[in-house]
Amino acid sequence: MFGKYATLTDPVHNNTYAAISPLRPELSQAGKTILISGGSSGIGYGIARGFIKASAARVIIIGRRAEVVFKATENLKQEAHKTDIIGIPCDISTKAAVEALWGRFKLERIAIDVLVLNAVTFPPSKPLRGLGIESLWELFDTNVRAQLQMSEAFYRQEWKCDSKTKYLVYVSSVSVHDFNIGHEYPGYALTKHSFQLGLQLIAQDTPPEEIQIISYHPGAIFTENAKDKGYAEDTIPWDHVDLPGHFAVWAASPEAKFLHGRFVWAAWDVEKLQHGEIRRRIDEDSTYLKIGINGL
Protein backbone atom coordinates (compact mmCIF):
# COMPACT_ATOMS: atom_id res chain seq x y z
CA MET A 1 0.00 0.00 0.00
CA PHE A 2 2.76 2.44 0.87
CA GLY A 3 5.81 1.42 -1.10
CA LYS A 4 9.38 1.36 0.20
CA TYR A 5 11.56 0.32 -2.69
CA ALA A 6 11.76 3.00 -5.43
CA THR A 7 15.44 3.95 -5.12
CA LEU A 8 15.77 6.40 -8.00
CA THR A 9 18.46 8.30 -6.10
CA ASP A 10 21.31 7.24 -3.87
CA PRO A 11 20.82 8.03 -1.06
CA VAL A 12 17.12 7.78 -0.29
CA HIS A 13 15.77 9.22 2.94
CA ASN A 14 13.36 8.16 5.68
CA ASN A 15 13.57 11.41 7.64
CA THR A 16 14.24 15.08 6.99
CA TYR A 17 17.71 16.23 5.99
CA ALA A 18 19.62 19.46 5.39
CA ALA A 19 18.58 20.17 1.79
CA ILE A 20 14.86 20.21 2.62
CA SER A 21 15.14 21.82 6.04
CA PRO A 22 12.42 24.48 6.40
CA LEU A 23 14.96 26.53 8.35
CA ARG A 24 17.02 27.14 5.19
CA PRO A 25 16.67 30.80 4.13
CA GLU A 26 16.23 29.68 0.52
CA LEU A 27 13.02 27.84 1.49
CA SER A 28 11.55 30.65 3.58
CA GLN A 29 7.79 31.05 3.29
CA ALA A 30 7.80 34.46 5.00
CA GLY A 31 4.83 36.61 4.04
CA LYS A 32 2.92 33.71 2.48
CA THR A 33 -0.44 32.15 3.28
CA ILE A 34 -0.57 28.36 3.12
CA LEU A 35 -3.78 26.30 2.75
CA ILE A 36 -3.56 22.59 3.60
CA SER A 37 -6.46 20.21 3.05
CA GLY A 38 -6.52 17.31 5.48
CA GLY A 39 -4.17 19.36 7.62
CA SER A 40 -5.47 18.40 11.03
CA SER A 41 -3.76 15.02 11.36
CA GLY A 42 -1.11 12.72 9.96
CA ILE A 43 0.86 13.88 6.93
CA GLY A 44 -1.14 17.09 6.57
CA TYR A 45 -0.40 18.06 10.16
CA GLY A 46 3.29 17.38 9.56
CA ILE A 47 3.16 19.61 6.49
CA ALA A 48 1.59 22.40 8.56
CA ARG A 49 4.43 22.12 11.08
CA GLY A 50 6.94 22.33 8.24
CA PHE A 51 5.49 25.58 6.91
CA ILE A 52 5.40 27.03 10.42
CA LYS A 53 9.12 26.31 10.74
CA ALA A 54 9.62 27.98 7.35
CA SER A 55 8.15 31.20 8.82
CA ALA A 56 4.89 31.29 6.83
CA ALA A 57 2.76 34.30 7.70
CA ARG A 58 -0.42 32.25 7.91
CA VAL A 59 -1.20 28.52 7.83
CA ILE A 60 -4.81 27.48 7.26
CA ILE A 61 -5.74 23.85 7.88
CA ILE A 62 -9.05 22.33 6.84
CA GLY A 63 -10.60 18.96 7.63
CA ARG A 64 -14.02 17.38 7.80
CA ARG A 65 -14.03 16.67 11.58
CA ALA A 66 -14.52 19.95 13.43
CA GLU A 67 -13.26 18.71 16.80
CA VAL A 68 -10.05 17.36 15.25
CA VAL A 69 -9.48 20.57 13.29
CA PHE A 70 -9.90 22.76 16.36
CA LYS A 71 -7.64 20.58 18.51
CA ALA A 72 -4.95 20.55 15.84
CA THR A 73 -5.24 24.32 15.49
CA GLU A 74 -4.65 24.85 19.19
CA ASN A 75 -1.68 22.49 19.17
CA LEU A 76 -0.11 24.23 16.17
CA LYS A 77 -0.55 27.62 17.80
CA GLN A 78 1.74 26.47 20.60
CA GLU A 79 4.53 26.00 18.05
CA ALA A 80 3.76 29.07 15.95
CA HIS A 81 5.45 32.10 17.45
CA LYS A 82 5.03 34.31 14.37
CA THR A 83 2.64 32.30 12.18
CA ASP A 84 -1.11 32.91 12.29
CA ILE A 85 -2.88 29.53 12.54
CA ILE A 86 -6.45 29.18 11.30
CA GLY A 87 -8.51 25.97 11.43
CA ILE A 88 -11.65 25.67 9.33
CA PRO A 89 -13.94 22.62 9.32
CA CYS A 90 -14.62 21.83 5.68
CA ASP A 91 -15.65 18.58 4.02
CA ILE A 92 -14.25 18.97 0.52
CA SER A 93 -16.30 15.99 -0.67
CA THR A 94 -19.21 18.45 -0.70
CA LYS A 95 -19.11 20.90 -3.60
CA ALA A 96 -21.01 23.54 -1.65
CA ALA A 97 -18.49 23.36 1.21
CA VAL A 98 -15.60 24.08 -1.15
CA GLU A 99 -17.51 26.99 -2.66
CA ALA A 100 -18.20 28.39 0.81
CA LEU A 101 -14.53 28.03 1.80
CA TRP A 102 -13.23 30.03 -1.15
CA GLY A 103 -16.13 32.45 -0.80
CA ARG A 104 -14.92 33.16 2.71
CA PHE A 105 -11.40 33.78 1.47
CA LYS A 106 -12.73 36.22 -1.11
CA LEU A 107 -14.86 38.04 1.44
CA GLU A 108 -11.95 38.32 3.87
CA ARG A 109 -9.49 39.14 1.05
CA ILE A 110 -7.25 36.22 1.98
CA ALA A 111 -4.94 35.33 -0.90
CA ILE A 112 -3.63 31.76 -0.86
CA ASP A 113 -0.02 31.58 -1.99
CA VAL A 114 0.53 27.84 -1.51
CA LEU A 115 -2.15 25.17 -1.83
CA VAL A 116 -1.30 21.73 -0.47
CA LEU A 117 -3.82 19.08 -1.53
CA ASN A 118 -3.56 16.31 1.02
CA ALA A 119 -7.14 15.25 1.90
CA VAL A 120 -8.14 11.83 0.60
CA THR A 121 -10.80 9.16 1.01
CA PHE A 122 -9.90 5.47 1.24
CA PRO A 123 -12.31 2.83 -0.10
CA PRO A 124 -13.06 -0.57 1.39
CA SER A 125 -10.71 -3.36 0.40
CA LYS A 126 -12.71 -4.70 -2.53
CA PRO A 127 -12.20 -5.27 -6.26
CA LEU A 128 -13.66 -2.52 -8.45
CA ARG A 129 -16.50 -4.78 -9.51
CA GLY A 130 -17.35 -5.27 -5.84
CA LEU A 131 -17.37 -1.61 -4.87
CA GLY A 132 -20.43 -0.68 -6.91
CA ILE A 133 -20.75 2.46 -8.98
CA GLU A 134 -22.24 4.56 -6.17
CA SER A 135 -19.36 3.87 -3.78
CA LEU A 136 -16.83 4.34 -6.55
CA TRP A 137 -18.35 7.66 -7.55
CA GLU A 138 -18.18 8.85 -3.95
CA LEU A 139 -14.45 8.20 -4.12
CA PHE A 140 -14.19 10.22 -7.30
CA ASP A 141 -16.09 13.03 -5.61
CA THR A 142 -13.37 13.50 -3.00
CA ASN A 143 -10.25 12.23 -4.70
CA VAL A 144 -10.83 13.78 -8.13
CA ARG A 145 -13.71 16.27 -8.32
CA ALA A 146 -12.91 18.01 -5.03
CA GLN A 147 -9.21 18.24 -5.92
CA LEU A 148 -10.04 19.76 -9.30
CA GLN A 149 -12.47 22.19 -7.67
CA MET A 150 -9.88 23.26 -5.10
CA SER A 151 -7.27 23.68 -7.85
CA GLU A 152 -9.62 25.75 -9.99
CA ALA A 153 -10.59 28.01 -7.10
CA PHE A 154 -6.90 28.49 -6.29
CA TYR A 155 -6.14 29.46 -9.87
CA ARG A 156 -9.14 31.78 -10.20
CA GLN A 157 -8.46 33.89 -7.11
CA GLU A 158 -9.58 37.35 -8.17
CA TRP A 159 -7.85 38.94 -5.21
CA LYS A 160 -4.44 37.38 -5.76
CA CYS A 161 -1.26 39.35 -6.30
CA ASP A 162 -0.33 38.73 -9.93
CA SER A 163 3.32 39.53 -9.34
CA LYS A 164 3.86 36.46 -7.13
CA THR A 165 4.27 32.86 -8.22
CA LYS A 166 1.74 30.52 -6.66
CA TYR A 167 2.57 26.96 -5.63
CA LEU A 168 0.36 23.87 -5.80
CA VAL A 169 1.69 20.78 -4.04
CA TYR A 170 -0.20 17.50 -4.33
CA VAL A 171 0.33 14.66 -1.86
CA SER A 172 -0.01 11.82 -4.34
CA SER A 173 0.74 8.11 -3.91
CA VAL A 174 3.00 5.33 -5.10
CA SER A 175 -0.18 3.71 -6.39
CA VAL A 176 -0.28 6.11 -9.37
CA HIS A 177 2.59 4.18 -10.95
CA ASP A 178 2.76 0.81 -9.18
CA PHE A 179 -0.58 -0.98 -9.12
CA ASN A 180 0.98 -4.02 -7.41
CA ILE A 181 1.43 -1.98 -4.23
CA GLY A 182 -1.87 -1.61 -2.44
CA HIS A 183 -3.61 -3.80 -5.00
CA GLU A 184 -6.27 -4.55 -2.40
CA TYR A 185 -7.48 -0.94 -2.77
CA PRO A 186 -7.98 -0.54 -6.54
CA GLY A 187 -10.54 2.24 -6.06
CA TYR A 188 -7.88 4.28 -4.32
CA ALA A 189 -5.33 3.66 -7.08
CA LEU A 190 -7.87 4.54 -9.78
CA THR A 191 -8.87 7.87 -8.24
CA LYS A 192 -5.35 8.93 -7.23
CA HIS A 193 -4.10 8.09 -10.72
CA SER A 194 -6.99 10.02 -12.29
CA PHE A 195 -6.26 13.25 -10.48
CA GLN A 196 -2.51 12.82 -10.91
CA LEU A 197 -3.07 12.77 -14.67
CA GLY A 198 -5.47 15.71 -14.43
CA LEU A 199 -2.93 17.79 -12.55
CA GLN A 200 -0.24 16.81 -15.03
CA LEU A 201 -2.41 18.11 -17.88
CA ILE A 202 -3.13 21.33 -15.99
CA ALA A 203 0.59 21.85 -15.48
CA GLN A 204 1.14 21.27 -19.19
CA ASP A 205 -0.81 24.46 -19.93
CA THR A 206 0.33 26.47 -16.89
CA PRO A 207 3.72 28.20 -16.79
CA PRO A 208 5.58 27.47 -13.53
CA GLU A 209 6.14 31.22 -13.15
CA GLU A 210 2.36 31.48 -12.70
CA ILE A 211 1.62 28.32 -10.69
CA GLN A 212 4.35 25.79 -9.93
CA ILE A 213 2.76 22.33 -9.70
CA ILE A 214 4.51 19.33 -8.16
CA SER A 215 3.17 15.95 -6.99
CA TYR A 216 4.90 13.54 -4.65
CA HIS A 217 4.56 10.24 -2.87
CA PRO A 218 4.94 11.05 0.86
CA GLY A 219 6.46 7.74 1.90
CA ALA A 220 5.32 5.14 4.40
CA ILE A 221 3.98 7.19 7.30
CA PHE A 222 2.20 5.62 10.26
CA THR A 223 -0.99 7.69 10.12
CA GLU A 224 -4.49 7.23 11.45
CA ASN A 225 -5.49 5.85 8.05
CA ALA A 226 -2.70 3.28 8.21
CA LYS A 227 -3.79 2.24 11.69
CA ASP A 228 -7.40 1.93 10.55
CA LYS A 229 -6.25 -0.39 7.75
CA GLY A 230 -4.74 -2.78 10.32
CA TYR A 231 -1.11 -1.69 10.24
CA ALA A 232 0.88 -1.44 13.48
CA GLU A 233 3.90 0.60 14.52
CA ASP A 234 6.14 -2.43 13.99
CA THR A 235 4.61 -3.63 10.69
CA ILE A 236 7.36 -2.01 8.63
CA PRO A 237 10.14 0.53 9.25
CA TRP A 238 7.98 3.63 8.84
CA ASP A 239 9.28 6.93 7.51
CA HIS A 240 9.24 9.99 9.78
CA VAL A 241 6.40 12.44 9.14
CA ASP A 242 8.94 15.28 8.84
CA LEU A 243 10.07 13.76 5.53
CA PRO A 244 6.88 14.60 3.59
CA GLY A 245 6.29 17.63 5.82
CA HIS A 246 9.57 19.29 4.93
CA PHE A 247 9.58 18.03 1.35
CA ALA A 248 6.34 19.96 0.78
CA VAL A 249 8.10 23.16 1.84
CA TRP A 250 10.93 22.46 -0.61
CA ALA A 251 8.40 21.70 -3.38
CA ALA A 252 6.84 25.12 -2.77
CA SER A 253 10.11 26.90 -3.45
CA PRO A 254 11.88 28.13 -6.60
CA GLU A 255 14.48 25.38 -6.17
CA ALA A 256 11.88 22.80 -7.27
CA LYS A 257 10.82 24.64 -10.42
CA PHE A 258 12.50 22.04 -12.67
CA LEU A 259 9.98 19.43 -11.43
CA HIS A 260 6.93 21.39 -12.58
CA GLY A 261 4.21 18.96 -13.69
CA ARG A 262 6.11 15.87 -12.54
CA PHE A 263 5.78 13.19 -9.87
CA VAL A 264 8.54 12.31 -7.41
CA TRP A 265 9.03 10.56 -4.09
CA ALA A 266 9.72 12.51 -0.90
CA ALA A 267 12.40 9.89 -0.14
CA TRP A 268 14.45 10.80 -3.21
CA ASP A 269 17.39 13.07 -2.53
CA VAL A 270 16.60 16.52 -3.94
CA GLU A 271 20.23 17.36 -4.62
CA LYS A 272 20.54 14.20 -6.73
CA LEU A 273 17.37 15.22 -8.57
CA GLN A 274 18.75 18.71 -9.18
CA HIS A 275 22.05 17.58 -10.64
CA GLY A 276 23.61 14.87 -12.74
CA GLU A 277 22.01 12.20 -14.91
CA ILE A 278 18.51 12.48 -13.43
CA ARG A 279 18.44 16.24 -14.02
CA ARG A 280 19.66 15.72 -17.57
CA ARG A 281 16.78 13.34 -18.27
CA ILE A 282 14.28 15.77 -16.74
CA ASP A 283 15.57 18.61 -18.90
CA GLU A 284 15.69 16.54 -22.11
CA ASP A 285 12.61 14.31 -21.77
CA SER A 286 9.29 16.08 -21.29
CA THR A 287 7.61 12.77 -20.39
CA TYR A 288 10.07 11.68 -17.70
CA LEU A 289 8.43 11.16 -14.26
CA LYS A 290 5.00 11.62 -15.78
CA ILE A 291 2.04 9.33 -16.36
CA GLY A 292 1.95 7.55 -19.71
CA ILE A 293 1.76 4.13 -21.33
CA ASN A 294 4.85 1.97 -20.84
CA GLY A 295 6.25 0.65 -24.12
CA LEU A 296 4.89 3.32 -26.44
Domains and CATH numbers, the chain: 18-284 (3.40.50.720)
Mean of pLDDT over the chain: 91
pLDDT of residue 135: 87
pLDDT score of 282 more than 80 = yes
Count of Cβ atoms closer than 10 Å to residue 226 Cβ: 20
pLDDT band per the 50, 70, 90 thresholds, residue 124: confident
pLDDT of residue 34: 98
At 209-255, the pLDDT tens digits run 999 999 999 988 767 776 666 777 767 778 899 999 999 999 999 99
Report the distance separating Cα 5 and Cα 2, nearest Å: 10
Query: SS3 for 68-136, per residue?
Result: HHHHHHHHHHHHCCCCEEEEEECCCCCHHHHHHHHHHHHHCCCCCCEEEECCCCCCCCCCHHHHCHHHH
Report the distance separating Cα 65 and Cα 219, nearest Å: 24
Look at the alpha carbons of 7, 199, 73, 162 in this order and tell me if their dihedral is positive or negative: positive
Report the distance separating Cα 259 and Cα 31, nearest Å: 24
Q: How is residue 262 annotated by DSSP?
A: -
Look at the alpha carbons of 130, 126, 39, 68 in this order and tell me if their dihedral is positive or negative: positive
Which residue in 163, 159, 186 sits closest to 175, CA to CA? 186
pLDDT of residue 82: 92
Q: What global pTM score does this model have? A: 0.94
Least reliable range by pLDDT among 80-84, 127-131, 276-280:
127-131
pLDDT of residue 1: 45
Q: Summarize the confidence of residues 121-134 as an average pLDDT.
A: 83
| DSSP E strand stretches across 121-207 | 166-171
Report the distance separating Cα 212 and Cα 165, nearest Å: 7
At 243-275, the pLDDT tens digits run 999 999 999 999 999 999 999 999 999 999 999
